[in-house]
Amino acid sequence: MTEKPTAVTYFIESRPAPTQPWRRAPGVRVGWESKATALEKLAWRREQQPNWEHRLMERITTVTERPSDLS
């Protein structure tokens, strides 16, 4: 079994009130590999929508390769 290096990307989730579910902005499928860039985008989002809650999310992806079971 071979494990490939882990990939990390960051994205933003927002919600209008604490009672609402967290979600990504509709139509936005952007993620950033740089945490510094993601934090800049988060700061911008907080300036644009100060009445909403925003959080930075981290997606960690690991790929594992192994022989297929050909039974």
Instruction: Judge whether residue 71 has pLDDT over 70.
Output: no
pLDDT band at 3, cuts 50/70/90? confident
DSSP state of 24: P
How confident is the model over 6-50, as pLDDT tens digits?
899 999 999 999 999 999 877 677 789 999 999 999 999 999 999
Split at pLDDT 50, 70, 90, the class of 55 is very high
- Measured CA distances, 60 to 19, 53, 69 (Å): 27, 23, 27
Q: In angstroms, rounded to a whole number, what is the distance separating the alpha carbons of residues 24 and 21?
A: 10
> pTM (2 decimals)?
0.79
User: Distances in Å between the alpha carbon of 28 and those of 31, 42, 60?
Assistant: 9, 14, 19
